[in-house]
Structure 1
Amino acid sequence: MRQYHQQLHEWVSLPEDRLNPHRVPQQLPVEDGTSRSVVCMWDGAVSANSHSTAGLILKDEGGNVLLAKGVFFPNIVDPLVAETLGLREGIQWCQALGIHQVRFEGDAKVLIEKVNAKDARDGRVGAIISEILSLLEVNGGFRVRFVGRNSNRVAHSMARKALSLSQTSYRLYDLCLWVGSRI
């Protein structure tokens, strides 16, 4: 409970304007063709209601949060799959933002060992790891590194927060489909 309250306090204490995934910061860490290194922390979370999410936090060299994003994965209940999809989403996100030097940090040790060993022989996540390896090959400045849960608390909190909010979004999506089918 103490860890939960600490993480909740950490999440609530982050400035809301820094966590808006639709707001692009004034100054991304790419200036005049030269790129500075950033860290993309990611973590996955699984709900008992047959869905999962990933939390992505983009930080500059000084540890300041640049962007944050929660991603919803319907019908995914395997934590390894959620973590793997979260890493792939983070790589694609940084690539789309035009950032060329990124250190991806997560607490999924098995996944990170597979990615760094370039081992895509896994029945559950092998195809996704193959995609990740292709993306890493194209983006030579991207690295994946293991960090413990304590170092990844903010991304963990983001994934948990997205998990709790996704149910509302999912119902809204269902409602839109239902209304659309009636028109």
Structure 2
Amino acid sequence: MVFDSEDSSKCAQVFMVCWTIWRARNDLVWNQKYTKVGRIVAEAMQHLTQWNIAQSRWSQASLRPDVEGDGASVWARPLPNKVKVSVDAAVFNDRDAVGFGLIARGTDGRLITAKSIVHPHLVSPVTAEAMAIKEALSWIDDMQWPHVTVESDCLVVVQAIRSKTPMRSHLGGIIEECRRLLTQFHKVSLFFVKRSANMVAHQLARESYDYPGRSFDRCSVPVSIQNCIELDLK
């Protein structure tokens, strides 16, 4: 049997695939919802990665902000000569897509630039959040900003990026890429903030499907996004 000849990580993968097949079978029987084989395997690996994150030593206690600067409930302006990038993701189940909102603001709290991205494949919310952070780090690299603070409201992904836990899955590959990008920057920091401190990026992510692949400046940013920025400045 596979359980006699393989190591524990392989056995865990088999167990997780079996469990995901069982869930897909229930979806078909009770909800008439068909799930493709590739999607079943991808979801199994995502669930396994998330389980490994939850079980790893750095998160044995309940998830909570554990780094100074984490957990802000109100957006704050960056220090002089710094840029703050807020990032969020939205899942569009009815459109089989996910969207990302990236917002860069300066010391005055005003918009420097913003970007909306649509990824035309449906992934889990946690994977979408990890993809959004990877997009933000790549964006920072392209823009060549010297000193940047990145803020996300997904604690699981922020802690996964900070950890050294090996991850063998699609989600794990994205986490590893985020780690690689962060190590090549000298002055880029990643923090967790509460949703209330991330409303501008949250709003842009929700509207990203209407603005795929768009970049915005202060003159072209949608009114709804500008209104959120103004609320942060009050």
TM-score, with structure 1 as normaliser = 0.68
Percent of pairs identical after alignment?
A: 28
**Quick check: 1:128 aligned with 2:174?**
yes
| Alpha carbons 2:116, 2:211 under 8 Å: kept | no
Unaligned ranges ≥5, structure 2: 1-79, 213-234
User: Which structure 2 residues correspond to residues 100-111 of structure 1 after superposition, within 5 A?
Assistant: 100-111=146-157
Match of 2:112 among 34, 50, 66: 66
* Aligned twin of 1:152: 198
Cα 1:163–1:116 shift into 2, 3 Å: same
User: Which structure 2 residues correspond to residues 144-183 of structure 1 after superposition, within 5 A?
Assistant: 144-166=190-212
Instruction: Note the aligned Cα RMSD (angstroms).
Output: 1.6
More strand by share: 1
**Quick check: 1:41 aligned with 2:86?**
yes
TM-score, with structure 2 as normaliser = 0.53
* Aligned twin of 2:160: 114
* Aligned twin of 2:224: none
**Quick check: 1:85 aligned with 2:139?**
no
Deviation larger for 46-55 or 124-133: 124-133
Structure 1 consecutive aligned stretches of length 4 or more whose deviation exceeds 3 Å: none
Aligned length: 132
The separation in 2 between residues aligned to 1:93 and 1:45, in whole angstroms, is 18
CA apart distance, 1:62: 2.5
The separation in 2 between residues aligned to 1:122 and 1:105, in whole angstroms, is 25
The separation in 2 between residues aligned to 1:120 and 1:111, in whole angstroms, is 14
| Alpha carbons 1:118, 1:133 under 8 Å: kept | no
| Alpha carbons 2:101, 2:116 under 8 Å: kept | yes
CA apart distance, 1:165: 4.2
CA apart distance, 1:36: 2.1
Highest CA radius of gyration, 1 or 2?
Answer: 2
- 1:122-147: CA deviation from partner (whole Å, max 9, x where unpaired): 63411011111111111021111000
Q: What amino acid is the match of 1:56?
A: L
| Alpha carbons 1:73, 1:82 under 8 Å: kept | no
Unaligned ranges ≥5, structure 1: 1-34, 167-183
